[in-house]
Amino acid sequence: MPDNSFDVIVLGAGAAGLMCAAQAGARGRRVLVLERAQEPGKKILISGGGRCNFTNVHTAPDRFISANPHFAKSALSRYTPHDFLGLVVAHGIAWHEKTLGQLFCDGSARQIVEMLLDECAKSGVMIACGEDVANVEHRGAGFTVTASARTVEAVSLVIATGGPSIPKMGATGFAYELARLFGLKVVEPRPALVPLTLGGEDVLFRDLSGVATPVEARCGKASFHEAALFTHRGLSGPAILQVSSYWQRGKAVEIDFLPGERFGWLVAAKQANPRATLRSVLRNAMPQRLADALADRIGIEGPLANAADAVLHQAEKRLADWQFHPNGTEGFAKAEVTVGGISTAELSSKTMEAKRVPGLFAVGEAVDVTGWLGGYNFQWAWASGWAAGQTA
């Protein structure tokens, strides 16, 4: 086989591309990975605060957002968190479970990159970094790829160039350009797992910058019990990042500031201590600055004994269903992932191959499948990369 000819070319040495390459290589395929950056796996290296939240033991299809909620089922069921953990353990990488089923390295995210590179090396995969892919052509049964320093060809081409989140790391919408070149539809991409910005009346909450509290945040049918954080631009923290993936312009985000309380708790507080005020009761339940801001806005002054039960019930309802109207997000610059991408309608859910372009595959964040916060996005990268690697 000539030096510039391969069975499989994988574009992008990120999580999905490296997994796919190692799998295809293990099947005896001659694989080349082309990576624009000077080193592979840059997003893995910065993930999970440098410790890589590499999977989540609660992985299930309902924790992924896609125009087709069934699409991810096949790949996720064939390559599970257990399978990835098996690889981690086989490579002697120490790990631990944090909260909510999130698995992290004890040491460094670099161990995950090294593990993937080891797997690629074992399978004879070639990885070329500093190779910005400029042009791709489909000729006959194969693909010709022109990158910075070479022109190469292969029977199979895997798009694993990720999404446009964090452009300062070199992320772009290149996957979508390629998909469109081949006539594949793209679901409008938008930033996800991203802080929301507040304007209008909500802007007053920016004074609370730095205050964090456990809440239930809701957007449409999605709801998350985690911490919310007020920022100088709006709202952040895990609960908000989670709902941001479901949020669209014009929609409200509802926050329950006291998710542990049952209806009637404020009336019960009045009965227990008639001289207590709304402010004092809230101060016992949440950070003082937040308690004061909410009490000011609700406006029940003086001892609770002076307030009718119906008024207290109204206050409870407001605290359980506080309506924020974000005016935007902090955009791709701050988004951990992208919602939308190459339409799943174009791909086989079993192999990730384009139905209309035999030999063309798409995996990972480039595809319209987006996981919750907490290791789900890497699990999708591993599972979709693995699925493509069995066929490409």
- Can you tell me which of 9, 10, 11, 388 binds ligand FDA, judged by CB under 6 A? 11
240 binds ligand FDA (CB under 6 A): no
DSSP state string for 71-121: TTHHHHHHS-HHHHHHHHHHTT--EEE-STTEEEESS-THHHHHHHHHHHH
Residue choice 8, 13, 87, 184 for contact with ligand FDA (CB under 6 A): 13
| Residue 166 is a binding residue for ligand FDA (CB under 6 A) | yes
Among residues 179 and 337, whose Cβ is nearest to ligand FDA? Answer: 337
- What order of strands is seen across the sheet that includes strand 95-97? 53-56, 102-105, 95-97
| Selection from 349, 371, 309 nearest residue 15 by Cα | 371
CB of 112 to ligand FDA, least distance (A): 10
CA gap 122, 103 in Å, rounded:
25
Spatial CA neighbour of 165 closest among 104, 241, 240:
241
Check residue 353 for interaction with ligand FDA (CB under 6 A). no
Span near ligand FDA by CB under 6 A; candidates 12-20, 244-252, 290-298, 348-356 = 12-20
Size of the site for ligand FDA (CB under 6 A): 39
By CB under 6 A, residue 308 contacts ligand FDA? no
Separation between Cα atoms, residue 374 and residue 78, nearest integer Å: 20
Q: Is 152 in the site for ligand FDA (CB under 6 A)?
A: no
Residue 291 Cβ, how far from ligand FDA at the closest point, in Å?
32
- Pairwise CA distance, residues 305 & 302, whole Å: 8
Rounded CA separation 50/27 (Å): 32
Is 340 among the residues that bind ligand FDA (CB under 6 A)?
no
What string marks each residue from 28 to 57 as x (binds ligand FDA by CB under 6 A) or -? ------xxxx----xx--xxx---xx----
Max alpha carbon distance in the chain (Å)? 88
Which of 326/364 has CB closer to ligand FDA? 364
258 near ligand FDA, rule: CB under 6 A: no
Are 362 and 132 in contact by the 8 Å Cβ rule? The answer is: no
Q: Which residue type does 329 have?
A: T
Quote the least distance from Cβ 384 to ligand FDA, whole Å: 8
CA distance 40 to 53: 18
Among positions 174, 224, 246, 257, the unique one binding ligand FDA when judged by CB under 6 A? 174
Q: Does 116 bind ligand FDA (CB under 6 A)?
A: no
Q: Which is nearer to ligand FDA, 278 or 366 (CB)?
A: 366
Sort 205 into a burial class: Cβ within 10 Å, 0-12 / 13-18 / 19+: buried
Q: Which of 22, 75, 133, 278 binds ligand FDA (CB under 6 A)?
A: 133
Q: Does 364 bind ligand FDA (CB under 6 A)?
A: yes
Minimum CB separation of residue 15 from ligand FDA in Å reads: 4
User: Which residues, including other chains, have CB under 8 Å from residue 332's CB and lie 6 or more apart?
Assistant: 164, 165, 166, 167, 171, 191, 338
What's the closest the beta carbon of residue 328 comes to ligand FDA, in angstroms?
A: 19
Residue 81 touching ligand FDA (CB under 6 A): no
Q: Is 368 in the site for ligand FDA (CB under 6 A)?
A: no
Which residue has 């910075």 as its token pair?
Answer: 148
245 close to 219: Cβ distance less than 8 angstroms: no
CA 323 remoteness from chain centre: 24
Report if residue 375 touches ligand FDA, rule: CB under 6 A. yes
Residue with smaller CB distance to ligand FDA, 295 or 373: 373
Is residue 218 at the binding interface for ligand FDA, with CB under 6 A as the rule?
no
Selected from 61, 101, 107, 170, the binder of ligand FDA by CB under 6 A is 170
Q: Which amino acid is at 326?
A: P
Sites of contact with ligand FDA (CB under 6 A)? 11-17, 34-37, 42-43, 46-48, 52-53, 132-133, 160-162, 165-166, 170-172, 174, 336-337, 364-366, 375-378, 381
